[in-house]
Structures are given as structure tokens and as C-alpha cells.
Structure 1
Amino acid sequence: MGAVTDASRPVDGQSERSAALRSYGGVDGDERIARRRIALMDAALDLLGADGGGSVTVRGVCRASGLNPRYFYESFDSVEALVAATFDRVVDEISDSALAGFGAGDDIDDKVAGAVGAIVDIIDDDRRKGRLLFSPKLLSPTIADKRSESTALFAMLTVDTASNALAKQVSPEAIGAAQFEVGGLARLLSAWLDGDVALGRDEVVALSVRLMMSLVDAVAG
């Protein structure tokens, strides 16, 4: 009698080994990579957001994350790429929360208060994120570039949301005023995080809203 083969069973151990690589402990390979990537960004945030700021090296971030360099280069080709990804992750969190806070408001004052309150809550709950975004002690070229990008992003979000909320067209003055607002808010929050502005959470939100609303006509065109 000839041998009966099951087409679904591997002829040798190669497919079984490949399957083991893809899934280990119930977690597939892509998810393991994603978890290691997050762990590396968390470690970078710990180092960058430390009180007084800190430098990031491959060795340092691997030690802090408990991963070896092989896993670092699995996700990032350089320290600069890790820092950029860590910054973008925080910006995404803040922009999503700010937009949600803005959208929940009943009128323009409530909307601005909701957006600013969401930003303040994030950086107050996790001071590392505020230092990464605003601290003048972090002066790497990568962070400088990322801050410039995020300022432009938040300025355009300010213009778009305010003009839509007030049903007015965007003007060049609106774009300039939005840049002014975002830069001023960033400086105020940086000083607040450093303890140079002796205000509570609600007070710094209220002050920010008053200052931003003083420019709302210009922002909305």
C-alpha cells in the first residue's frame, strides 16, 4: 500500500519552524515587533523627559527597555529615528485629544477651553511628554525639527477648527495669528511645567483660553 500524505501537513520541519517564529506564546511576530517598538519609545521618553533632560543612545535605551541592540535595529535605523518617532507619538496623542476636546464644546469658548484643557491634562499627568515637546533644555537637531513641524501642524489645526466653527474663511492674518497662538501657548506651558508660572491647572487653562480668544477674530479671518 502506498504512503498516504496529508497535504496540510508539512513534509519536513521547515514550515513548523516558520510557524513557531510567527507565533510565540500566542503572540504573532508582528505584534511582538510592535510591542518592542513601543518599549523602545517608552524608554526614549523616560530618558528625554527626565527632569533636566537626558541624552539617548542605543546602549542606554536598550538598557532602559530591557532589549538588546538587535531589537533596536529591528525597528529603528538610528537614535534620531527613535527620537523622531517618540516625538510624533506624543504629538499624535495630544492632537487627537485636543481635537476631541474642541469638538465636544458647545460654542467657540467651550471648544477652545476643551482643546487647551486636553493638552494641559496630558502634559500634567505625564510631565515627560511636556518636557519633550516644550523644554528648552532639549536642543537636539531632531527635536528642533520636530518642534517646528508640530508648531506648523497645531497652527493649521487651530486655523481649520476655528474657521470651521465660526464659518469664516481663512486669511493670511489668521495663519499668522495661529502661529503666534501656538508658539505663545507652548512657551506658557513650558514655563508652567518648570514652575516659573505659579498657577494651578484650571488657572493656566483659563489664562490660555483668554489669551487665545483675544485673537479669535484674526484666526478666523
Structure 2
Amino acid sequence: MSRPYGGRLPEARSADRRGRLVQAGIELVGTHGVSALTMRAVCREAQLSQKFFYESFTDTEQLLHEVYRTTLDDARHVIGAAAAAATDRSARTAAGVDAAARLVRTDPRVCRILLMEPIADLRLRHFVRDFLADAFGRPRTETEVGPLRAKMHYATTIGAIISLFIEWSEGNLGEDRDAFVTYVTEMLMASPVAAANAGILAP
């Protein structure tokens, strides 16, 4: 039977250490990129000895995957909460885009982890592609327009959205958030592939 130490059970202390490692990973990847995610750097950021790293993760790649999943889950929670009160698809999409636009300006780490690093790091890109497909499904219009054309349409639209959000997060598109949200929403609503998979933006 587990005994509490300092008023906390071992399971709670282990979960706390895991959370600190994930947050350290978010800070490192979100600020400096995937290349900064070394075991020594993570443990230093989390203020934990390296022996505790293996308590939660087999290697830094597994931690990197958790960094991505955690950041995406947190972002979807914020975006979904903003979109929940909307009454139709267009309003939900606009609310989700607006929340995402505010989020990446408030916390640029989100944009780097979710959008920039998967482009720069091949291992992360492969993981993200498979993870998103498992989590949200393949493009739902494949049966309508054919798998190859659907994939190309999806890649074109999503690539443009990613580029827009990167430019927005870096301040290269000015400060008119309403104009940005309107433009991105119109792109999403005009694309049957992207609109059909809008659950990535608003669960």
C-alpha cells in the first residue's frame, strides 16, 4: 500500500513531476524549437533530476509527442469554449478562429508548437499527420471528390491557414484582428474539405 509523503501519495507526486516535465517541454519547444528538447535541458527547466525523467517517459521523442498533444488539447479547449455559444456553423467557425487568433498572439509558443515545428521537424511532422488523422478522421469529402484530389485540396487549404496564423502570430499582418478573422473564416467556409473537418478548430 502506498504511503503518503509530505501529505501526498506517491502517485500524486509522480503525476506532478510528469506535469512539470511536460510544461518544461512546452516552454523549450515553444520558445526555442524541437532542437532545444534535450533531457538535460528539460530536467533543468523542470528542476528535476534525470532519474525522474524515465519515471514518465522513455525518451525525449515521447515527451515531444506529449508536448504536442497537451498543447493541442489546451488550445482546442479555449477555442471550443469560445465557439460553444454560436448558433450556426459560420458563427462557430468565426468564434473559433477569433479565439485561435487571440491565443497565438497571447502565447506565441502555441503557434510554434502546433504549426511551425511540425513543418521544420520531420519526426514531429509524421507524428502530427498520423495523430490528427486518428483523432479527427480523414478528410470526409474523399468519397465525393476522390482521395488524391481531396488530399491536395486539404493540404492546400490547411497550408494557407497555417501560413496565415504564423504571419499573424509574428505581427506581420497588422493589428486588425477582425479583418484577419473574417478572411480566415471565409477561407474555411469556402473549402468543403476544411469546413468538413472543422472539429480541429472547434470540438
* Shorter-chain TM-score above 0.5: yes
Q: In structure 2, how many angstroms separate the alpha carbons of the residues matched to 1:83 and 1:77?
A: 11
Q: Deviations over 1:78-128 (max 9, x none)?
A: 010111111111112223443444442112210111222232233222111
2:15 is the counterpart of 1:39: no
Of 40, 44, 50, the match for 1:59: 40
| Residues 25 and 218 of structure 1, relative CA distance in 2, 3 Å threshold | closer
TM-score normalised according to structure 2 size = 0.77
Residue 30 (structure 1) aligns with? 11
TM-score (norm 1): 0.72
Of 175, 179, 193, the match for 2:169: 193
Distance in 2 separating the partners of 1:138 and 1:36: 30
Given the superposition, is the C-alpha separation of residues 52 and 84 from structure 1 closer, same or farther in structure 2, using an over 3 Å criterion?
closer
1:48–1:132 CA contact under 8 A, matched in 2: yes
What's the counterpart of residue 140 of structure 1? 121
1:211 to 164, 179, 187: 187
Within a 5 Å distance, the mapping from 1:1-221 to structure 2 comes to 19=2, 22-50=3-31, 54-135=35-116, 139-149=120-130, 152=133, 156=137, 171-173=143-145, 176=151, 177-216=153-192, 219=195
1:32-90 CA distance string (max 9 Å, x none): 11111111111111111115775111111101110001111100010101111111111
| Counterpart-to-counterpart distance in 2, 1:106 and 1:97 | 18
- Structure 2 unaligned residues grouped into runs of 5+: 197-203
User: Measured at CA, do residues 182 and 152 of structure 1 come closer, stay the same or move farther in structure 2, by a change above 3 Å?
Assistant: farther
Q: Give the share of equivalent positions with the same residue, in percent.
A: 25
Write the letter of the residue equivalent to 1:205: V
Q: Output the aligned Cα RMSD.
A: 3.1
SS in 2 for 1:183: helix
Report the residue type matching 1:211 in the other structure: M
Larger radius of gyration between Structure 1 and Structure 2: 1
CA contact (8 A) 1:155 1:178 kept: no
- Matches of 1:44 and 1:31 in 2, distance apart? 20
Q: Across the two proteins, how many residue pairs are aligned to each other?
A: 192
Give yes or no for contact 2:101–2:168 (8 Å, CA) kept in 1: no
Question: How far does residue 154 in structure 1 lie from its aligned partner after superposition?
Answer: 7.9
Greater share of helix: 2
Q: Retained in 2: the 8 A contact 1:116–1:208? A: yes
User: Distance between the aligned counterparts of 1:209 and 1:29, measured in 2?
Assistant: 47
Q: Is the 8 A contact 2:31 2:109 kept in 1?
A: yes
Which amino acid letter does the alignment assign opposite residue 73 of structure 1? Y
- Identify if the C-alpha distance between structure 1 residues 146 and 104 changes in structure 2 by more than 3 Å, giving closer, same or farther: farther
Cα separation, 2, equivalents of 1:46 and 1:141: 20
